[in-house]
């Protein structure tokens, strides 16, 4: 039976590292679900035990906030914000600063993936219409969305997991990280400006991007929901998952916005990825492999109990297997406020290192490619590598100094 757990672990995390299993049309979420199925079918755990392995409050929080973000997307809020930003009179560098600031703020309170999904096509359309190259603005969007999402415990999926499991205070976490997040955002802006100095201009092209039209009332409902969530998260006293579910339920009670459309924008693949990894990691821990791994690392001088080593290993592992699987492996046993904060910041900022480092990066690249703009690995790495190393350095100095 131990051999089955080893085989499942190796195959699932190989898929996490490669993005899919070679020779099969099985992506990360599919591999995680298949791994959980194998463990159940082999008799290592029952279906109720598999379900109990999941942290249901984390899944509920993810789902609730996805519904709120979907409301804003369908209401045309992201479209309106993006077009208003681009329409403003500003220098190319000033326009980049406005876009990155907006993306960072939105990503801190909403899912960064949906922010990128909604804003990227509008940026391509509007920058080409102004005779600007879309590339620096797309890079700025991806970098800022990842950096901004590090500012709160609801900014991205791994932070939600860490915040729930480690019981991090919403305001306490923000107070601890905002200086390094702000510094990282400034470094990212400077990095893009330096890389594209003298090359902001581009061909003037007219595109017609299909995007949800702006509905003031529907957008207002979404903003009221996220405002209520933020207020109650800051006040505390009510479980965050209950708050998010209550807001999601209120939004689904609509006479005009079809629930089918709203629920279609929920990232079910991500929820299934979480569910599958919860099950796989439970068995890995039960078999003693996590303890063995920590003991081996300690034997070669890497003590994950020390925040410095935890920061470095998290950043490295996040670029091998992606940040969500990395956090799920490293979080058990590292749930003190300082360790949890280190995990959240390091895993999130590390996502900017290379193009596949975060789903947000890939979303921006895919949306751009569909409109004829190529943001490839090399173009991203030219800015992402130095920006990420600098932001990780500043954050390590702030959090560990």
Q: What is the residue-level pLDDT of the chain in tens, covering all 401 positions?
A: 788 998 999 999 999 888 888 888 889 999 999 999 999 999 999 999 999 999 999 999 999 999 999 999 999 999 899 888 888 778 999 999 999 999 999 999 987 888 998 899 999 999 999 999 999 999 999 999 999 999 999 999 999 999 999 999 999 999 999 999 999 999 999 999 999 998 998 888 887 787 888 999 999 999 999 999 999 999 998 999 999 999 999 999 998 889 999 999 999 999 999 999 999 999 998 888 888 888 888 888 899 989 999 999 999 999 888 888 999 999 988 899 999 999 999 999 999 999 988 888 989 999 999 999 999 999 999 999 999 999 999 999 999 97
Torsion 162-168-174-180 (CA) sign: negative
**Do the Cβ atoms of 41 and 285 come closer than 8 Å?**
no
238: number of Cβ within 10 Å: 11
168 phi, psi to nearest 5 deg: -75, 140
pLDDT given at position 203: 85
Q: Pick the closest to residue 270 from 46, 110, 58 (CA basis).
A: 58
CA dist 278 and 361 (Å) reads 25
Q: Pick the closest to residue 248 from 263, 233, 268 (CA basis).
A: 263
Beta bridge partners of 20: 27
58, two tokens: 């984390």
**Do the Cβ atoms of 36 and 280 come closer than 8 Å?**
yes
Beta bridge partners of 235: none
203, two tokens: 């061909």
**Do the Cβ atoms of 283 and 45 come closer than 8 Å?**
yes
**Do the Cβ atoms of 11 and 21 come closer than 8 Å?**
yes
pLDDT given at position 85: 87
201 phi, psi to nearest 5 deg: -70, 150
pLDDT given at position 295: 84
pLDDT given at position 322: 86
Burial environment of residue 41 by CB neighbours within 10 A (0 to 12, 13 to 18, 19 or more): exposed
CA dist 343 and 355 (Å) reads 20
pLDDT given at position 359: 85
CA dist 393 and 363 (Å) reads 26
Q: Rounded to 5 degrees, what angle do the CA atoms 323, 329, 333 make?
A: 125
Please give, one letter per residue, the 3-state secondary structure of the chain: CHHHHHHHHHHHHHHHHHCECCCCCCEHHHHHHHHHHHHHHCCCCCHHHHHHHCCHHHHHHHHHHHHHHHHHHHCCHHHHHHHHHHHCCCCHHHHHHHHHHHHHHHHHHCCHHHHHHHHHHHHHHHHHHCCECHHHHHHHHHHHHHHHHCCCCCCCHHHHHHHHHCCCCHHHHHHHHHHHHHHHHHHHHHHHHHHCCCCCECCCCCCCCCCCCCCHHHHHHHHHHHHHHHHHHHHCCCCHHHHHHHHHHHHHCCCCCCHHHHHHCCCHHHHHHHHHHHHHHHHHHHCCHHHHHHHHHHHCCCCCCCHHHHHHHHHHHHHHHCHHHHHHHHCCCCCCHHHHHHHHHHHHHHHHCCHHHCHHHHHHHHHHHCCCCCCCHHHHHHHHHHHHHHHHHHHHHHHHC
Tokens 């890995």 label which residue?
284
Q: Pick the closest to residue 164 from 310, 328, 52 (CA basis).
A: 328
**Do the Cβ atoms of 129 and 370 come closer than 8 Å?**
no
CA dist 271 and 278 (Å) reads 11
CA dist 362 and 75 (Å) reads 24
pTM of the predicted model as reported, rounded to 2 decimal places: 0.92
């Amino acid at each position: 039976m131990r051999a089955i757990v080893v085989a499942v672990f190796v195959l699932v995390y190989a898929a996490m590292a490669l993005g899919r299993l070679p020779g099969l049309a099985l992506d990360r979420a599919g591999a995680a679900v298949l791994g959980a199925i194998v463990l159940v079918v082999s008799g290592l755990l029952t279906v109720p035990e598999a379900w109990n392995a999941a942290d249901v409050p984390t899944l509920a929080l993810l789902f609730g906030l996805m519904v709120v973000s979907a409301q804003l997307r369908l209401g045309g809020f992201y479209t309106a914000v993006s077009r208003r930003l681009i329409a403003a009179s500003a220098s190319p560098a000033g326009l980049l600063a406005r876009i990155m600031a907006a993306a960072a703020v939105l990503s801190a309170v909403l899912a960064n993936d949906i922010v990128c999904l909604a804003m990227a096509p509008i940026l391509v359309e509007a920058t080409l219409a102004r005779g600007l190259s879309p590339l620096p603005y797309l890079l700025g969007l991806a970098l800022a969305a990842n950096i901004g999402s590090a500012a709160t415990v609801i900014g991205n999926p791994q932070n939600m997991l860490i915040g729930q499991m480690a019981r991090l205070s919403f305001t306490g976490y923000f107070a601890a990280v905002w200086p390094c997040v702000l510094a990282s955002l400034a470094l990212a802006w400077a990095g893009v400006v330096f890389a594209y100095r003298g090359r902001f201009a581009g061909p003037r092209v007219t595109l017609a991007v299909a995007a949800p039209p702006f509905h003031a009332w529907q957008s207002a409902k979404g903003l009221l929901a996220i405002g209520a969530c933020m207020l109650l998260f800051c006040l505390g006293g009510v479980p965050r998952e209950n708050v998010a579910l209550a807001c999601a339920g209120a939004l689904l009670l609509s006479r005009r916005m079809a629930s089918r459309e709203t629920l279609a924008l929920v990232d079910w693949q991500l929820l299934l990825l979480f569910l599958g990894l919860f099950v796989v990691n439970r068995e890995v821990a039960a078999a003693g492999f996590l303890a063995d791994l920590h003991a081996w690392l300690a034997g070669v001088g890497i003590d994950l109990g020390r925040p410095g080593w935890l920061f470095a290993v998290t950043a490295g592992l996040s670029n091998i297997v992606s940040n969500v699987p990395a956090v799920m492996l490293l979080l058990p046993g590292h749930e003190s406020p300082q360790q949890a904060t280190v995990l959240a910041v390091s895993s999130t900022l590390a996502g900017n290192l290379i193009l596949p480092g975060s789903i947000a990066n890939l979303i921006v690249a895919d949306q751009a490619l569909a409109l004829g703009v190529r943001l490839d690995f090399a173009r991203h790495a030219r800015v992402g590598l130095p920006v990420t190393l600098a932001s990780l350095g500043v954050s390590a100095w702030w959090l560990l100094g």
